[in-house]
Amino acid sequence: MLKYSSLVLLGACCYGILSVIVKLAYKQGFTVSEVIGSQYLFGFLFILVPFLFSKKSFSLKDALYLAFAGTTTSLTSILYGKSLETIPASIAVVLLFQFTWIGMIIEAIANRKLPSKEKLIAIIILFIGTILAGGGSMNNLLTLDPTGIMFGLLSAISFAFFIFVSGRVAIHLPSITRSFLMTSGAFLFLLFVLSPNFIVNGSLGDGLWKYGSLLGLFGVLLPVLLFSIGTPKIGAGIATILGAAELPTAIIASVVVLNEYVSTIQVFGVLLILLGIAVPQLTHLKVRNAKRKEVESIT
């Protein structure tokens, strides 16, 4: 389990790098549509290469299900980008990270089973840590644009569904095939919703390709592939908890790359998030060690 948990954790960390790359792209004058569009264009091209050399055995039903599931990734990017247009980033990221408890509810409904005590403790720790890591600025929520708040919460729901479907849809297929079909669905959905002008307006040649390729690598290829491999093995609940690693990664990357200021309360929030991520893993290790000792005592 730790092997697959590590893959999901790495995928979440990849997502955490995105905010820094997006901010650098914005500084160069590129628009939201151009940045998000190039992200999924390059992500599609990256996953296309290994897919062409892989075994291609899947039904039309599987392809449609995975393509539809893939729309949750690009939809999350669109909704989160819309929320950033009207509310501060510190609030938007806290709203996005409500996917932790939303994902737990989705799993509980799907499995018709209440979350374990360890998962509930982890979610509570993550919830508190996320608010603190966002600067503890939720006090002014009622004074903000309700549209931005709505988009922020919708992005959380969308991301929670992405994690859920990653461990449920067509898991009998190879990870490369699943990742390609999900990325294809995400890219097509994005072209339908946003303008594809970035492909022909010259922005790619003006430097957008540099940011798009990095975003495609860390925002599409790696996380979709890693979640596709790891989530079916560990379950959506644990994957949701591990997904919270995105926020500490984003904060650390902002400090290192953008030299942004991080307050003491944010540092404490990051430490709480790391604790929340560790709780289920430590519990698993404890149970596994107990079982191993029991077997050794019998033999």
CA dist 121 and 198 (Å) reads 45
Which of these, 249, 251, 274, lies nearest to 128 by C-alpha position? 274
Candidates 145, 108, 105, 101; CA nearest to 123 is 101
Instruction: With a cut of 90, say whether residue 201 has pLDDT above it.
Output: no
Cα(136)–Cα(94) distance, rounded to whole angstroms? 9
139-148 contacts, C-beta under 8 A, 24 or more apart: 140/91, 141/91, 144/86, 144/87, 144/88, 144/91, 145/86, 145/87, 147/86, 148/82, 148/83, 148/84, 148/85, 148/86, 148/87, 148/91, 148/92
Query: Per the structure, how many domains does the chain have?
Result: 1
Residue 295 binned pLDDT confidence (cut-offs 50, 70, 90): low
How high is the pLDDT of residue 154? 94
pLDDT at 193: 86
- On whether the CB atoms of residues 47 and 183 are closer than 8 A, the answer is yes
Mean pLDDT, the chain, rounded, equals 82
Position 47 scores a pLDDT of: 92
Identity of the residue numbered 17: I
E-strand spans in the chain?
A: none
- Domain membership of residue 217 as a residue range: 2-298
Q: DSSP string of 63-78?
A: HHHHHHHHHHHHHHHH
> pTM of the predicted model, to two decimals?
0.80
